[in-house]
Amino acid sequence: MNFTDLGKINYKDAWDFQHKLFNENIENKRLNKPTKNKLLFCEHNNVYTIGKSGNQSNLLLNNISLKDKGIEFYNIDRGGDITYHGHGQIVAYPIFDLDTLNIGTREYIYKLENTVIKTMEEYGIECGRLDGAAGIWIEPEIVANSRKICAIGVRSSHRITMHGLALNVNTDLTYYNYINPCGFTERGVTSMQKELNKHIDFEDVKAALLKNFRNEFAFIPKQLL
């Protein structure tokens, strides 16, 4: 039960590491051995990922344009549609055994959402959920004004989780112009920097996010804060 900050890491390297931890936990459960709950934070280079149920038409660039702009692209094994990861964004990957937490997948996602909502409250950013759409939104009830500040997409097998959330802190939002984020065309995307109109201390947000993870998922030791 521990936390690791991977820092800046290519998406594929982080994905492979997730799979290693994920598969080890599944094998341990099969053998009735203890599992290990692990929380990873990282920051990726520019990349688009699309989930199993995603629509490829929501990527608005071809392979040549992606290469010219230095953006990678992966079809991956989480739920949800297309999203962007890049500099100035905190990505959190919880590799959790839900049996050790005594919760179901729906409650797990609710706790992920709570973690972000409470972190944003510390910065004076009011946000919440949108029925039928994963992630955390500002002014979700008004379509013309609604904008996503955090994407959430998870995978669960044998009650072991992987993938997670991506919180826009100082993210360059122009990269969202080349996709229909999460399949939406009528709703926007935002960042903490845009909402507060100033550069945000990235490490401070990490610390706040980790603290709220610990509060929602009580097994993360205090000494890691």
pLDDT in tens, 156-194: 999 999 999 999 999 999 999 998 876 776 789 999 999
Query: Are 220 and 39 within 8 A, CB to CB?
Result: yes
Residue-by-residue DSSP string for 166-186: EEESS--GGGGGGB-GGG-SS
Q: To which H or E segment does residue 6 belong?
A: strand 2-8
Report residue 219's pLDDT band, with 50, 70 and 90 as the boundaries: low
The two tokens of residue 167 are 């919180």
User: 128-130 and 47-50: which strand pairing?
Assistant: unpaired
Q: Decide if pLDDT at 143 tops 50.
A: yes
Residue spans per domain, the chain: 2-219
- One-letter amino acid at 84 equals Y
- Rounded distance between C-alpha atoms, residue 55 and residue 219, angstroms: 37
- Rounded distance between C-alpha atoms, residue 43 and residue 112, angstroms: 18
Nearest to 39, CA basis, from 64, 80, 2: 2
Nearest to 177, CA basis, from 74, 84, 72: 84
Of 42, 127, 150, 182, the catalytic one is 182
pLDDT in tens, 24-79: 999 999 999 999 999 999 999 999 999 888 889 999 999 999 999 999 999 999 98
* Residue 225: per-residue pLDDT: 36
- Give the architecture (CATH level 2) of 2-219: 2-Layer Sandwich (3.30)
Percent helix, strand and coil across the chain, each to the nearest 5: 35, 30, 35
* 132 DSSP assignment: T
The mean pLDDT of 153-157, rounded to a whole number, is 95
Q: Which residues have C-beta within 8 Å of that of residue 138, sequence separation ≥ 6?
A: 125, 126, 127, 145, 146, 147, 148, 149, 190, 195
Q: Coil, helix or strand for 126?
A: coil
Nearest to 171, CA basis, from 138, 139, 204, 193: 193
Is 182 part of the annotated catalytic residue set? yes
Rounded percentage of the chain residues whose pLDDT exceeds 90: 82
pLDDT in tens, 86-133: 999 999 999 999 999 999 999 999 999 999 999 999 999 999 999 888
Kindly report whether the global pTM for this prediction surpasses the value 0.85. yes
